[in-house]
Amino acid sequence: MFLYHLYGNKYESLIKMKKVKEQGLHPKLTSMYLGTGGGGDFYPDIMERVRLRSPGAEWINFDVGIVVTLSPYDFKNYLRFPIFTNKIMVFDRDITTKLFSYIEDEYVIDESGIAGTMIEPGTPSKEELVKQYWGSGVTLENYMKNKPFSNTEIMVFERVPKNQLTLISE
């Protein structure tokens, strides 16, 4: 089984993938498409309070969590690597989408000039969504056994060594 880190445009791909070949994959060399942190990075102060209440989660740091996928889809530029660590978590991306609506809500004004229209009625508070997001997290191994949700946000919480990477580029 392989994991994939996808690069969007060719220019970004060529520059970053060349550096990845030399240094391995780390947060400063992630793609603009996938990046780092996922939904765990949207409200770091809230997430940190939730994370600190979970013993054994010290290694989960969304600042360095590299977002990956289970497929290259139809991307032409990507990195492929085997599962080389147990520091891989899977979170429910649907919760990330709901959290993102709070971020959009802070910046988007509807056509009538009113802010605060991006959040659907009945959406839990951002604090509750952060708790749900954290609670959805399972190791990749457990996710593959149970698949508790289908819309995944997968993160590797350590540098991917260059000797583990296969670079695919058009």
Residue type, 112: S
168 inside domain: no
101 inside domain: yes
pLDDT tens for each residue of 90-142: 999 999 999 998 888 877 766 666 766 778 889 999 999 999 999 999 999 99
How many domains is the chain partitioned into structurally? Answer: 1
Residue in 91, 92, 79, 100 with CA at minimum distance from that of residue 155:
91
pLDDT tens for each residue of 32-80: 889 999 999 999 999 999 998 888 888 999 999 999 999 999 898 899 9
Q: Which residues contact 6 (CB under 8 A, 6 or more apart)?
A: 31, 33, 34, 69, 72, 73, 75, 77, 78
The pTM assigned to this predicted structure is 0.90
The boundaries of the domain holding residue 130 are: 2-159
Q: How far apart are CA 90 and CA 26, in angstroms?
A: 18
167 inside domain: no
Q: Give yes or no for residue 12 having a pLDDT over 90.
A: no
